[in-house]
């Protein structure tokens, strides 16, 4: 008759951690490096973490979060696209953004609650936001009963530029504006953004005057 033995064991849970128990602290070093890169790059960038299942990508993100949360110059927002598979991703993304940043709550809530005044257009590729722009519609007494619109904050992720994404997003936005009986669309950009100048001119926008900006201080 074989003797029975009982062995103690622990269950290993597949969940992210902010503790690096490896001797060389590789994951912590990666998180530290990512923070330095983010702080050093003024124009923004997209960073991809590649690795097999269970290699610690989510743990690195969690460690990076802890480091960024202690830095007042950086805002951190975590969105799990897999957790919202099958949901209306654009709305869920914006609502999550509202919940995360209190200082943006009023502005984003206003946009979502009054779509007839304008909207935020988002371009996605495999659940990743790669381009966005904001559209504001307003009534104009001189142009009545038609309205005017301003397209602002046209941004394409650096890794997806020069592929016609900004052009397509603008075309789609202007089609919606046409349906909203909008007669004229305005855009503005800085002198240094020559790429944006070529985009707008290629879409038929004409220069018609000057834009002046004044910052209203408290």
Q: For residue range 135-185, what is the model confidence (pLDDT) as tens digits?
A: 888 887 776 777 889 998 888 887 788 899 989 999 999 998 888 888 889
DSSP character at residue 3 = P
The model's pLDDT over 19-41, given as tens digits with 9 standing for 90+, comes to 787 778 888 898 889 888 888 87
Instruction: Identify whether 62 is part of a domain.
Output: yes
Domain end position, chosen among 26, 56, 76: 76
112: tokens are 């979502």
Same domain for 132 and 197?
yes
pLDDT top residue among 10 and 65: 65
For residues 54-82, give the mean pLDDT: 80
> Which residue range is the domain that position 194 belongs to?
114-206
Task: Pinpoint the alpha helices (H) of 76-181.
Answer: 89-100, 105-113, 165-179
Q: With 80 as the cut, is the pLDDT of residue 84 above it?
A: no
Q: In what order do the strands lie in the sheet with 182-187?
A: 118-125, 128-139, 147-156, 182-187
Query: What is the widest separation between alpha-carbon atoms in the chain?
Result: 99
pLDDT higher than threshold 80 for residue 186: yes
Provide the pLDDT for residue 133: 87
Residues 70, 128, single domain; the answer is no
28 within some domain: yes
Could you give the 3-state DSSP secondary structure of residue 65?
helix
134 and 201 both lie in a single domain: yes
């Amino acid at each position: 008759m074989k003797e029975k033995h009982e062995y103690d064991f622990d269950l290993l849970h597949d969940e992210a951690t902010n503790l690096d128990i490896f001797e060389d602290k590789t994951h912590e070093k990666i998180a530290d490096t990512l923070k330095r890169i983010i702080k050093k790059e003024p124009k923004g960038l997209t960073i991809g973490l590649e690795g097999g299942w269970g290699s610690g990508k989510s743990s690195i993100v969690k460690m990076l979060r802890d480091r960024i949360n202690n830095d007042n110059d950086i805002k951190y927002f975590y969105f799990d696209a897999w957790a919202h598979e099958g949901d209306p991703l654009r709305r869920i993304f914006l609502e999550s953004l509202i919940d995360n940043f209190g200082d943006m709550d009023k502005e984003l809530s206003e946009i979502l609650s009054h779509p007839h005044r304008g909207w935020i257009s988002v371009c996605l590729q495999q659940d990743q936001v790669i381009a966005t722009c904001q559209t504001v519609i307003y009534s104009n007494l001189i142009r009545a009963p038609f309205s005017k619109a301003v397209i602002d904050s046209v941004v394409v992720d650096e890794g997806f530029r020069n592929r016609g994404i900004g052009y397509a997003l603008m075309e789609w936005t202007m089609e919606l504006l046409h349906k909203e009986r909008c007669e004229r669309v305005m855009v503005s950009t800085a002198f240094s953004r020559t790429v944006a100048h070529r985009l707008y001119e290629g879409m038929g926008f004409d220069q018609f005057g000057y834009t002046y900006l004044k910052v209203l201080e408290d």
